[in-house]
Amino acid sequence: MRFGFVLMVAFGLTVAATNPGLTTEPAGKFALVIGNAKYPDSDLALPEIANDAQDVADELKRDNFDVETGINLTGDAARAALDRLYGKIKPGSVALVFFGGFGIQSARQTYLVPVDAQIWTESDVRRDGVGLEAILGEMNNRGALVKIALIDASRRNPFERRFRSYSAGLAPVIAPANSLVMYSAALGSVINDAAGTAHGLFVREFLREIRVPGTSAEQALTNTKNGVALGSRGEQVPWFSSSLAVEFSFGSNPVLGRNEDNARKKDDREDCVSLAPTPPPGLDELANDRVINELSRRISANRNDKIAYYKRGQVYAAKGAFSLAIKDFDEVIGNNPRDVEAHNNRCWANAAGGDLQLGLKDCNEALRLRPGFADALDSRGLINLKLGRNEQAIADYSAALEASPRQVSSLFGRGIAKKRNKADGSADLGLAKSLDPDIAKEFAKYGVSECSR
């Protein structure tokens, strides 16, 4: 039931100086997303890299980043794309680079490897590779206030083994002030990609965490590291470095299973019998919401602004105004019937407080468009739970957890379905509550109690 969404206050990545009284909007947000999935010099294909790159690009576009995406870029193409990125940067802007593929370190620096690299000696690395420190330095020279590098390149590759007896992974980076850098694995270590996977664990956890409301970027990346470590059972632990002197967050997307005040972990877990559904918000509350008002203004100015409809639907859903959310998702799907995220969102809104049968159709369509989509499986699990189809709910939640082991709502929902099916759901319920003590209250909003019936 968790839905894909990045929403910044005033529809931008809000940047605040360490003095709380100084808050500004960035002078543009620019991103280059590269997914090098096939290297002619290697027999190893990385199909998940192309999928991950597209997912990252789509998520950034939803928040009005100016995104260029490149798949299987040669050295010349990569440098040209970087030059275009540098040319867009203005003083005070946000610049982000995502790279998926092969990386290698040389002379204690990390280099990103283009698909046409011809590397046989260590000097070839510096000739054909693209230096990460140079990328961050140029972003800084062009005036970017916040520099972000997400590097999913800690893999065993055919190049470094030609002149080394072991794979050394990536090196620490010396980054300018106000930089965030994250590698998909620890320094000097590599990962072995699971054969046949459609998406990588690192990107899946990253996208999950940046959608959490009220979470700083640093905390989101820390949560990403922890999520990858948990999902890989400790075999993969990302490396993260921050030199931020400003505060910002990636977004404020409500994620079912995390209270909007997730940073406050309460110990006042109430007995399930005392929990009641939260009433929908009043019209005054919605009318006074600054984000809703700004989105409504954008829609009034341009009735074809489907991104504004999508984001307003997200805000309505987060506030429990499900009927209004459904209407906005109707607009998005009417414009693009293949928008898998919108189908999942409308499914979730119907699951939480609308027509269960209509929601079921949307979930099934989302899963047809994206088989194995964990969020849609989670949404459909709630529908089956509310319909009393406990076996189907358990199956959906279990499938969602296969893809996303930390999805709190799937753990809690599966625990309830097991209890209702006269099985032991205590382990699922206990783990869900340990991850989010407010999860029972969250489910109560949607009329679902952990009390068996």
H runs (alpha helix) in 23-111: 47-62, 75-88
Q: Specify the pLDDT at position 75.
A: 95
Residues of the chain with CATH 3.40.50.1460: 9-248
Handedness of CA 181, 250, 81, 161 (dihedral sign): positive
Give the closest residue to 88 by CA, choosing from 47, 53, 138, 38: 138
Q: Is 68 helix (H, G, I), strand (E, B) or coil?
A: strand
Each residue's pLDDT tens digit, 105-157:
888 899 999 999 888 888 888 899 999 999 999 999 999 999 999 999 988 77
CA distances from 102 to 129, 367, 401 (A): 10, 31, 29
Categorise residue 204: left if φ over 0, alpha if ψ from -120 to 50, beta otherwise: alpha
**Which amino acid would we find at residue 40?**
P
Mean pLDDT of the chain: 81
- State how far the Cα of 180 lies from the Cα of 148, in Å rounded to an integer: 5
Which parts of the chain register pLDDT below 50? 1-14, 16-23, 166, 195-196, 252-276
Question: Where is 177: in which H helix or E strand?
Answer: none
Q: Rounded to the nearest 5°, which phi and psi values hold at 214?
A: 70, 15
Q: Specify the pLDDT at position 281.
A: 61
Residues of the chain with CATH 1.25.40.10: 272-444
CA distances from 111 to 8, 97, 116, 410 (A): 32, 13, 14, 39
Can you read off the two tokens belonging to residue 348?
């979730």
CATH assignment of 272-444? Answer: 1.25.40.10
Can you read off the two tokens belonging to residue 291?
């984000």
How far, rounded to the nearest angstrom, does the alpha carbon of residue 337 sit from its chain's CA centroid? 23
Each residue's pLDDT tens digit, 254-290:
323 333 333 333 333 344 444 445 555 666 677 778 8
Q: Specify the pLDDT at position 193.
A: 64
Give the closest residue to 48 by CA, choosing from 232, 207, 195, 189: 195
pTM as predicted: 0.55
Determine how many CB atoms are found less than 10 A away from the CB of residue 371: 9
Question: Where is 137: in which H helix or E strand?
Answer: helix 132-141
Q: In what order do the strands lie in the sheet with 109-112?
A: 103-106, 109-112, 130-131
CATH assignment of 9-248? Answer: 3.40.50.1460
Q: Rounded to the nearest 5°, which phi and psi values hold at 240?
A: -135, 135
- State how far the Cα of 157 lies from the Cα of 145, in Å rounded to an integer: 34
- State how far the Cα of 205 lies from the Cα of 406, in Å rounded to an integer: 9
Are 103 and 110 in contact by the 8 Å Cβ rule? The answer is yes
What DSSP string describes 407-437? -HHHHHHHHHHHHHTTS--HHHHHHHHHH-T
